[in-house]
C-alpha cells in the first residue's frame, strides 16, 4: 500500500484520474486490434456458461479506447489521463521468482489521450519524470533503457531496469552517462564504446520495474476513436500507455536491499517504522516492569503516529526475536530488557547498521520523529 501511495501521488501530480476496470474482457473487443490471436499465448481465454468467449485482461488498451469513444468528441476533451491499480493475469510460461514474475499480479496502468503526436511526446516526458520520481522515492537505482514495443507499438519504448542478479532481462548500460538498451534490441556488446560518451558499455542482469509506450493511433483507429478539431475535421486520437507492477517493485526492493539475515526496508515503504522487542527475565517482578515499560512506549509511539510491530511473545528467546527482526527488516529495532530498564534507556539499532546504541526514550523519539516527517 505504501508503494501504491507513492505511485498514486506521482500519477495524480501529472493529472492522472484513478478508475477501475473489469478484468473480464469480451473476445469481440480484442478482435478489433487483432490481439485476441496475437496475445493468446499469454492471455487466459475461455467460454462462460452461455458459451461466450471471454479473456482475463493482461492490459487494458482496448477497453480504454472503447470507453473513450463515449467521452472524447472534441479537441476540448483532450488531453485525458486515466490510470488504475488492478489485478492482471498472464499465462506466463516461466512464472518464477515470487513477485518478480507471476501469473496473477498487481499493475498500475496509465493511459493518455492526445490530439497529436507533439502533445503525446510532451506528456511522455512528464510520465518519464514521474516514473523516475517513483523509483527514486522507493530507494532504487535504475536505468532508463530503450526497448522493444512488443504487441503494443513498432516504435522504441522505454523500460526502467534495476540491476539485480535475480533479473530475467539483460541490460547494456554505461555507468558514466546512464545510456542503456535492452539486449533484445541492442546492436552493442559489453566492452563497446558508449554511443553517447564513448566510455565502455557494461552488461548485467536486470529487473524491469516499469515501462512506457507511445501507442500512436493504432488503438483509436481500431475503435473509431476520433475527435473534431477547431475546424470540425475528424482526427484519430493519439494514445500512450504506461505500466508499473507494484508487487514486482516491492520484490525488486527486497532483491537489492538485503543481506544473509533478511531485508532492509527503505523507511518510505517499510511495513512498520519500529520493531519493538521485549526481552523477558526469569525474575517475575523485573519481567512485569519490562512489560509495563514496553506497553507504555508502544502507546507513546502510536500516539505520535509511529507504526510499530510489537513483539511481546513470551515463548521466544532473545536470539529468536532478533533473528525474526532481521528477517522482516523493519528500519528500527528497539529492545527493552531488565538491563536497559535499570539504565532508564532502550537499546536501538538500525537494520542496516552493525552496532546498537543505548539511548533514552526521549532521545530515541527525537531521533525517529524527524525521519518520519520526511
Q: Splitting the chain (374 residues) into consecutive groups of 10 residues, what average pLDDT does each group show?
A: 97 98 96 95 94 95 97 98 96 81 93 98 97 97 86 73 94 96 93 96 97 95 97 98 96 95 96 95 88 95 96 93 97 95 94 94 86 56
Question: Which pLDDT belongs to residue 194?
Answer: 96
Q: Strand order in 332-337's β-sheet? A: 308-311, 274-279, 332-337, 346-350, 357-359
Query: In the numeric block, which cell numbers belong to residue 8?
Result: 498514486
> What phi and psi, each to the nearest 5 degrees, are found at residue 143?
-120, 140
Question: Which pLDDT belongs to residue 101?
Answer: 84
* Contact status, residue 71 vs residue 225, Cβ threshold 8 Å: no
With a CB cutoff of 8 Å and minimum separation 6, the contacts of 204 are 163, 170, 171, 173
Query: In the numeric block, which cell numbers belong to residue 49?
Result: 456458461
Q: What is the pTM of this model?
A: 0.92
| 3 state DSSP class of 178 | coil
Would residue 364 be called left, alpha or beta, if left means φ above 0 and alpha means ψ between -120 and 50 degrees? Answer: alpha
Q: What share of the chain is helix, strand, coil (3-state, %, to 5)?
A: 30, 30, 40
| Distance in angstroms (rounded) separating the CA atoms of residues 349 and 340 | 14
How many other CB atoms are there within 10 angstroms of residue 98's CB atom?
14
> What phi and psi, each to the nearest 5 degrees, are found at residue 316?
-120, 145
* Contact status, residue 334 vs residue 364, Cβ threshold 8 Å: yes
> What phi and psi, each to the nearest 5 degrees, are found at residue 296?
-65, -40
Question: Which pLDDT belongs to residue 158?
Answer: 94
Amino acid at each position: 500500500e505504501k508503494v501504491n501511495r507513492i505511485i498514486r501521488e506521482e500519477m495524480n501530480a501529472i493529472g492522472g484520474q484513478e478508475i477501475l476496470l473489469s478484468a473480464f474482457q469480451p473476445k469481440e473487443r480484442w478482435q478489433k486490434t487483432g490481439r485476441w490471436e496475437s496475445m493468446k499465448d499469454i492471455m487466459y481465454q475461455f467460454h462462460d456458461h452461455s458459451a461466450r468467449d471471454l479473456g482475463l485482461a493482461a492490459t487494458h488498451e482496448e477497453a480504454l479506447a472503447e470507453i473513450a469513444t463515449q467521452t472524447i468528441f472534441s479537441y476540448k476533451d483532450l488531453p485525458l489521463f486515466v490510470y488504475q491499480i488492478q489485478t492482471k493475469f498472464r499465462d506466463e510460461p516461466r512464472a518464477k521468482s515470487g513477485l518478480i514474475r507471476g501469473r496473477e499480479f498487481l499493475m498500475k496502468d496509465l493511459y493518455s489521450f492526445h490530439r497529436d503526436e507533439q502533445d503525446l511526446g510532451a506528456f511522455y516526458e512528464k510520465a518519464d519524470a514521474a516514473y523516475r520520481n517513483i523509483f527514486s522515492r522507493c530507494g532504487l537505482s535504475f536505468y532508463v533503457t530503450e526497448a522493444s514495443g512488443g504487441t503494443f507499438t513498432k516504435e522504441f519504448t522505454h523500460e526502467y531496469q534495476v540491476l539485480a542478479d535475480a533479473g530475467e532481462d539483460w541490460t547494456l548500460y554505461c555507468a558514466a552517462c546512464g545510456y542503456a538498451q535492452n539486449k533484445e534490441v541492442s546492436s552493442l556488446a559489453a566492452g563497446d564504446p558508449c554511443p553517447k560518451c564513448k566510455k565502455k558499455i557494461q552488461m548485467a542482469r536486470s529487473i524491469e520495474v516499469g515501462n512506457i509506450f507511445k501507442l500512436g493511433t493504432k488503438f483509436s483507429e481500431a475503435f473509431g476513436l476520433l475527435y473534431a478539431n477547431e475546424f470540425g475535421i475528424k482526427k484519430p486520437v493519439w494514445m500512450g500507455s504506461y505500466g508499473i507492477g507494484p508487487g514486482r517493485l516491492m520484490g525488486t526492493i527486497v532483491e537489492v536491499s538485503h543481506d544473509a539475515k533478511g531485508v532492509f526496508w527503505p523507511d518510505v515503504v517499510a511495513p512498520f517504522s519500529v520493531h519493538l522487542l521485549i526481552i523477558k527475565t526469569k525474575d517475575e517482578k523485573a519481567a512485569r516492569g519490562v512489560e509495563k515499560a514496553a506497553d507504555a512506549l508502544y502507546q507513546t509511539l502510536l500516539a505520535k503516529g509511529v507504526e510499530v510491530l510489537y513483539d511481546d511473545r513470551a515463548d521466544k528467546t532473545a536470539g529468536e526475536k532478533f533473528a525474526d527482526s532481521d528477517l522482516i527488516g523493519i528500519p528500527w529495532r528497539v529492545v527493552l530488557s531488565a538491563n536497559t530498564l535499570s539504565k532508564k534507556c532502550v537499546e536501538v539499532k538500525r537494520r542496516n547498521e552493525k552496532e546498537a546504541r543505548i539511548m533514552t526514550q526521549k532521545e530515541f523519539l527525537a531521533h525517529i520523529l524527524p525521519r518520519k516527517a520526511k
